[in-house]
Chains A and B, each alone.
Chain A
Amino acid sequence: MIWSTLKLWFHKLGSPPIFSVFARRVAPWLWAAFFACTLYGVYLALYVAPPDYQQSDSARILYIHVPAAWQAMLAYVIMAVLAAIALIWRIRTAEIMAMAAAPIGAALTLICLVTGSLWGKPMWGTWWEWDARLTSMLVLLFIYVGIMALYAAYDDPRKGARVASVLVIAGLVNLPIIHFSVEWWTTLHQGQTIRIFGESKMDPSMIPPLIWTTLGTKFLFGAALLDRARNLLLAQDQHKAWVRRELAPALDDRKQPA
């Protein structure tokens, strides 16, 4: 039952007009959830959570640095799944969503790198260090930018998306490098302190703001992905009747049943 419903949704959302309506309806709710979770999380992070016993208030940067890093990596995994679907089944909506995920992932990686640098200066005494974790995260940013550039380099967006999808799949190799960099090499960056399975080294009072800002970044990604993918679809299909009906219904004479 659940599987057949999911399959039906999967096929239905493959249709650009249905996806566009779905994105238009769902994205505002995701934005609302993002604002609510993030504002509450930031309030907890700045007003309620205690300062770290060693790093004092500079540790408050973690409440945005860590969620951005997690979501930048999760965004890449989602983009790779979409790229694989696009390459195997040639579903245009999946292609477009994969390409729409790249600028959001790049933005999250940028947040992670800049906030990490702002945290590193007072704690490590340097803005940047060619440490394995930092460098692999910088490589992730370059991969995201490379995917965006490759997609934009083709006049035919479908061809561009297919070529960029191959790069997305190849770039997956960087994710385990990022994750295990703090174990494989001696790094300035601290090791893993938060574990989903197993005991975390973080004080429990620091967990709630982290959960809320983490949820916020998930909603940010979902909302921005739907908005950007819908825009790409509308731009590609701008001469088609369904786009004209949706964007300029008063001017379109060619009324057709939905």
Chain B
Amino acid sequence: MIPELNYAPFVWSSYGVFAAVCAWQFLAPLIRRRRLTRQIREQLEEERAAAAVGRPAPRS
């Protein structure tokens, strides 16, 4: 049940901004780590493929 408040648009907007910023603080590191993990996996796969055909491993 949503409480009926005076100045409701101001109160709800404030709590909305708070929730959005907190959600971003939670999600941003997760997204960054996923991207980083994918990047490292791709590098390792490239290094493996290069080692299999006997050429030097690419270094990004």
Contact = CB atoms under 8 A, between A and B. Distances in A.
B6 A228 contact: no
B37 to A, nearest CB: 5
Contacts of B45: 251
A121 B36 CA distance: 43
Interface residues of A, number: 44
Interface in A101-132: 104, 107-108, 110-111, 114-115, 118-119, 121-122
B22 interface: yes
Contact of A118 (B10, B24, B44): B10
Contacts, number: 95
Interface string A230-249: 11001100110001100110
Q: Is the interface of B mostly helix, strand, loop or mixed?
A: helix
Contact of B21 (A111, A230, A234): A111
Q: Is the interface of A mostly helix, strand, loop or mixed?
A: helix
Nearest to B8: A57
A38 B5 CA distance: 20
B14 A220 contact: no
A234 B41 CA distance: 13
Given A58-B7, A234-B36, A235-B36, A42 B15 contact: yes
A197 interface: no
A38 B22 contact: yes
A180 B59 CA distance: 53
A111 B18 contact: yes
Interface in B17-32: 17-18, 21-22, 24-26, 28-30, 32
- Among B22, B33, B44, residue most surrounded by chain A Cβ atoms (within 10 Å): B22
- Among B8, B18, B39, residue most surrounded by chain A Cβ atoms (within 10 Å): B18
Contacts of A231: 29, 32-33, 36
A38 B10 CA distance: 19
Please list the 5 inter-chain residue pairs (A to B) with the smallest Cβ-Cβ separation, ordered nearest first: A227-B29, A57-B5, A58-B7, A115-B14, A251-B44
Given A110-B21, A118-B13, 17 more contacts: A46-B3, A51-B6, A57-B8, A57-B11, A58-B7, A60-B11, A61-B10, A61-B11, A108-B21, A111-B18, A114-B14, A119-B10, A121-B10, A234-B33, A244-B40, A247-B37, A251-B45
18 contacts: A46-B15, A56-B6, A57-B6, A57-B7, A61-B11, A68-B18, A110-B21, A115-B14, A227-B33, A228-B28, A235-B36, A238-B36, A238-B39, A244-B44, A248-B37, A251-B48, A252-B44, A253-B48
Interface of A: 31, 34, 38, 42, 46-47, 51, 56-58, 60-61, 64-65, 68, 104, 107-108, 110-111, 114-115, 118-119, 121-122, 220, 223-224, 227-228, 230-231, 234-235, 238-239, 243-244, 247-248, 251-253
Interface of B: 3, 5-8, 10-11, 13-15, 17-18, 21-22, 24-26, 28-30, 32-33, 36-37, 39-41, 43-45, 48, 59
